[in-house]
Structure 1
Amino acid sequence: MIEAAVRYAEERHWEVAAGSWLIEDDGPLRCSCGDPGCPAPGAHPTTRDWARKASAGPGVVRRWWTDNPLASVLLPTGRAFDAIDVPEIAGCLALARMERMGLQLGPVLAVPGGGAGTAGRGRRLVFLVLPGSLPKLPELLRRLGWGPGRLDLMGHGEGDWIVAPPTRVGTFGFAQWAREPTTLNRWLPEATELINPIAYACGREAPLSSPVS
């Protein structure tokens, strides 16, 4: 955890926040928050002012995980990046199509169905895009013919977060990189560049949904 958290801050200059953690003892696996019904056990902020405390300082980050090596690694959205979050099957379909099209892609995250806003939704793929994208998503989708709530597609922006590898989310599994952060994908794409193939893939996986007329 400490190596990953410091690397995000040091190499990508991403702000990092230390989240809750999993407690394993003689009883069942549980979240440090103490809520037996926690929707994201071991993978959510622990204080209301978590976003204000997030830091991209490697020394600060290292000290946090030295003090608590079990803390989950959270990345605030709406700062260095926003995120577009879709079901894993649709995300893989969109990712393959984007690669064939030669589109510039940023890092892509694969998360279990227990991260921010994803409890009970199954595994997800999360595409990192330039910040400021979240407010544009409804209009971008409308132009493509998709009304509000028609697609299983979520945006994460200011005030939200994503769970970063190698964080484990309860019994759901571990966050992993489908496309790791590298020097080749340091420059993130605009949401407008990716939304067409992403919406198309989500539409294919939502047979009961139909474009607006």
Structure 2
Amino acid sequence: MLDTDWSDSWRDAFRIELRAEAIGLACHGWPVLPGTAPATESGDEAWSGPVPVHGDWADRLDAHPGEIAGWWDGDHPYSLLVATGEVVDAVEVGVELGKRAARLLRATGHPAPIVATPDGRWLFLSTVADGLPERLAASDQIRWHGQGSWVPLPPTPFHHGVVHWRVKPDVLGWHLPQAAAVHSVLARALDEAENRDWAQQLVGASAAA
């Protein structure tokens, strides 16, 4: 997980922060749930990311803040997840495409909450959609999180860092951007990235000739 000493006091502080974040998100109507975390004592590198702790997680999405607080009252620093397809959707991309899309969103004046994970993934949050446009759905660089899925939120722990906000939702007044607007910007960013790669290939071919 984190390259640090998991003393009891540090563990307690981290758990309290996770609980506070979970309660805050729940109070804004986000369906949060506890997820698994890396094995801190064993350093289990087989852990590939958080999944819901409860098998019936889909039936717990209307939990009240008091119940949610109880999930983080134990000794284990559960990760923090939000179920998608209910209030919020997410589109997952790599770092380079994420940076390009974030710049375009700022330029259009329609920023979106963005989450970054320590393993190099960016998550663009939006309102709920029925699906992705064909341009995005056909790309192996894009993963959509809709109904029946979930994504990690800060400060979820990974092996070598924590999930963090690139753009916090409170900066936007907790108003999620429309999914169609986010999808349109991501499609434009994908087009620009592919055009750049194509141009670089042409330059490389010319230099080798």
TM-score range relative to shorter protein? 0.7 to 0.9
* Aligned twin of 1:118: none
Deviations 1:189-208 (CA, angstroms, capped at 9, x unpaired): 22221223212223444437
Q: 1:39 aligns with which of 42, 48, 71?
A: 48
The alignment status of 1:158 with 2:138, answered yes or no, reads no
TM-score (norm 1): 0.75
> CA separation in 2, counterparts of 1:44 and 1:170?
15
TM-score normalised over the length of structure 2: 0.76
Superposed, 1:58-97 pairs within 5 Å as: 58-97=65-104
Q: Please give the alpha-carbon distance, in whole angstroms, between the structure 2 residues aligned to 1:24 and 1:69.
A: 10
Matched, 1:168 2:165: no
Evaluate the alpha carbon distance shift between residue 54 and residue 67 of structure 1 in structure 2; reply closer, same or farther with a 3 A threshold. Answer: farther
Question: Is the Cα–Cα contact under 8 Å of residues 2 and 65 in structure 1 kept in the other structure?
Answer: yes
Amino acid paired to 1:127: F
SS at match of 1:66: coil
For structure 2, list consecutive stretches of 5 or more residues without a partner in the other structure: 1-17, 199-209
In structure 1, the gaps of 5 or more residues are: 31-35, 114-122, 209-213
Contact 1:84–1:154, Cα closer than 8 Å, also in 2: yes
Q: CA deviation at 1:128?
A: 1.0
Identity percentage over the alignment?
Answer: 27
Within a 5 Å distance, the mapping from 1:90-169 to structure 2 comes to 90-103=97-110, 105-113=111-119, 123-131=120-128, 133-135=129-131, 137-139=132-134, 141=135, 148-169=137-158
Structure 1 residues 69 and 47, CA, compared in 2 at 3 Å: closer, same or farther?
closer
Deviations 1:141-171 (A, max 9, x none): 2xxxx6x533511110011000010011223
Query: Would the alpha carbon gap of residues 51 and 177 (structure 1) be closer, same or farther in structure 2, given more than 3 Å must change?
Result: same
Aligned position for 1:29: 43
What secondary structure is seen at the aligned counterpart in 2 of 1:126?
A: strand
Give the C-alpha shift of residue 55 in structure 1: 4.0
Larger helix percent: 2
Cα separation, 2, equivalents of 1:79 and 1:111: 22
Q: Letter of the aligned partner of 2:35 in structure 1?
A: G
Matched, 1:4 2:1: no
Whose radius of gyration is greater, 1 or 2?
2
- 1:186 counterpart = 2:184: no
- Could you tell me whether the CA contact under 8 Å between 1:84 and 1:156 is conserved in 2? yes
Aligned length: 179
Over 3 Å counting, the alpha-carbon distance change for 1:110 and 1:78 in structure 2 is same
Question: In the aligned structure 2, how far is the partner of 1:64 from the partner of 1:54?
Answer: 13
Q: Tell me if the contact between 1:74 and 1:161 (Cα under 8 Å) persists in the aligned partners.
A: yes
C-alpha RMSD over aligned residues: 2.2
Is contact 1:153-1:202 (8 Å) kept? no
